[in-house]
Each structure stands twice: as structure tokens, then as C-alpha cells.
Amino acid sequence: MKRKRWNRVYFLAPVILFITGAAIFLYPAISNYIAEKKQWNVIQTYDAKMNTANKEEIEKEWKKAKIYNENLIGQPVHDPFVLGSGFVLPNNYEDVLRLSEDGVMCYLRIPKLNVHMPIYHGTTEKVLRKGGGHLEMTSLPIGGKGNHAMICAHRGLPSAELFSRLDELKKHDLFYIHVLDQVHAYEVDDIQIIKPEDMKYIHFESKKDLITLMTCTPYGVNTHRLLVRGRRIAYKNEQEKEIRIENNWKLEYVIVFVGGIAFFALKKGYRAYEKKKH
């Protein structure tokens, strides 16, 4: 009886170790896959809402957002990753570009990075855990000359990729903002690395329509801020369609690979068990 028990331990121990190791190895891929699925569902809900909203409702939101932006010109900008360094003006921020209760104001697509991310009001830690956040002291991302919006997101989270690959963007790369019933295209025209307190780089330019994407850098150290600025260009529908979001082949291949290793490990363990038994 005692020998049989040790035989089971001899067989199960490597299997348990393998499963534990595989779970640790797969966690980032699986958690990121789940996060992207959630983000995609939020985006689909947003698109559905825009498609069913009546024209008057959409026009009302455009008007509110334009008035909000007009009231912001000349206000200073503060770092969203440093708690207590900012303020909100004017006081109706949460009510603008808010057609649903989830707080999504628009969504961002960066085809080169396979990013499709809902953008929420504010840059609280709760917001930045699930997507991108719009920095309150900057223009709402509705386009228009003289506006400069800032979108912030984390990098290096174990549960979601978000802006982890933002440093791969180069000048002339494109990203897109889907807001209300419009899509705006932006071409990267400037990339900067600054200190958290050096936010004077974010300023309004009367003849330009700008959006800056911001995250912490260097990766895992986070002492500085990476700023990737885009200048509004004409949107070409066919251009965005040509660069499709890649499917999540990485996760499927990883699962197949690990499954194959698991099969051979179990097979080898069973043979060793049988050999030991006899």
C-alpha cells in the first residue's frame, strides 16, 4: 500500500510542477487576452450606442464638448501619474462626451501596435487599470485647431499591455480617435522624453489639432514620461481598413505549444510510472 502511494507521488509530482510552471508562464498572455476582450466589448458597446443615438443627441454632445474646450485655453497642465498635482476646470467635466454610464468618451486605435483601447474620463488609478484616461486639464479629444488633448495609460501591467509598446511608434506612424459619430486620424510628428514636472511641453497651438499619448518610462523604472504627439491629418477610411488589428494568434500558439509539452510530459511520466511499478 505504501509503495503504491509513493508510485502515485512519483508520477504526480512532475505533473503538478509542470502545471504550476505553465500557469505562471501563461498568466501574462491569458490576462492580457482577457483584458483586450473586455476592451473590445466596451468598444463594440460604444459603437452600438453611437449608431442608435439620434442626431440631436450627438449634436448636443459636440456642442458641450466644444464649449468645454473653449473654456480650457490657457490653463496649466499637471502630471497625471503624480497624485494631487492637478485640478479640474471647468466643473462639468464628467458630463461631457458621456452618453453611457461606463464613462467612455471615445476610443483609440493604433494599428501598428495592435492597440484598440477605450478612453475614459480622468486618470484615476481605477481608470488606468482598465484602459486609457483623458487628462482633464487638456482639450477633449474632439479635434479642431487650437486643441491639444492628452491620453494617458500604464505600461508594464501584468494584467494588460495598454501602452507597453508605445515606444515602438515612430514619426509618421498613424493612430485614430473614434469619438461620437466621427473618426479622426493623427500622424506622429514629435516624440519626447521629459521629467514629470516638465509639463510645459503640453501647450496649445492655434493652427494645429494635436493629441499626445503619454506613459511612464523607462519600462519598469518610471522616472520619466514618454510623450508621443500626433498632428491631425485627413482621415481616409480605406487606409484604416488596410491595417487590420491582428488576431490574438500569440495566445493560441502559446496554448498549443504548452499543451503539446504537457502531453509529452504526461506520456513520459506515465511510462516512468509503469516502469517503476514493474
Tens digits of residue pLDDT in 58-104:
999 999 999 888 887 655 455 555 444 444 456 788 899 988 778 89
**Cβ contact 39:117 at 8 Å:** yes
- Residue 27 shares a structural domain with residue 37: yes
At residue 6, the pLDDT reads 52
pTM: 0.74
Asked whether residue 6 falls in the same domain as residue 112, the answer is no
The residue that leads in pLDDT, 38 or 208, is 208
The verdict on 14 and 126 lying in the same domain is no
| Chain segment 216-228, per-residue pLDDT in tens | 999 878 899 999 9
229 grid coordinates: 504627439
**Do 142 and 236 belong together in one domain?**
yes
Is there a single domain that holds both residue 120 and residue 230? yes
Are 136 and 269 found together in one domain?
no
Contact 224, 193 (CB under 8 A): yes
Tens of pLDDT along 103-161?
899 999 999 998 999 999 999 999 998 899 999 889 999 999 999 999 999 987 666 78
**Does residue 111 have a cis peptide bond before it, meaning omega lies within 30 degrees of 0?**
no
> Residue 162 pLDDT more than 60?
yes
User: 19 is in which domain, residue-wise?
Assistant: 1-52+247-278
CATH number for 178: 2.40.260.10
- pLDDT above 70 covers what percent of the chain? 65
Residues 185, 235 contacting (CB under 8 angstroms): yes
Question: Is the same domain home to 65 and 40?
Answer: no
- Domain identity same for 88 and 215: yes
Q: Are residues 258 and 228 in the same domain?
A: no
Do the beta carbons of residue 153 and residue 128 sit within 8 Å? yes
User: Where does residue 16 rank: exposed (0-12), middle (13-18), buried (19+ CB within 10 A)?
Assistant: exposed
Same domain, 274 and 235: no
* Rounded mean pLDDT, 25-29: 54
The fraction of the chain above a pLDDT of 90, given in percent, is: 44
Same domain, 83 and 39: no
Same domain (yes/no): 192, 208: yes
Average pLDDT of span 247-263 = 55
Domains of the chain: total: 2
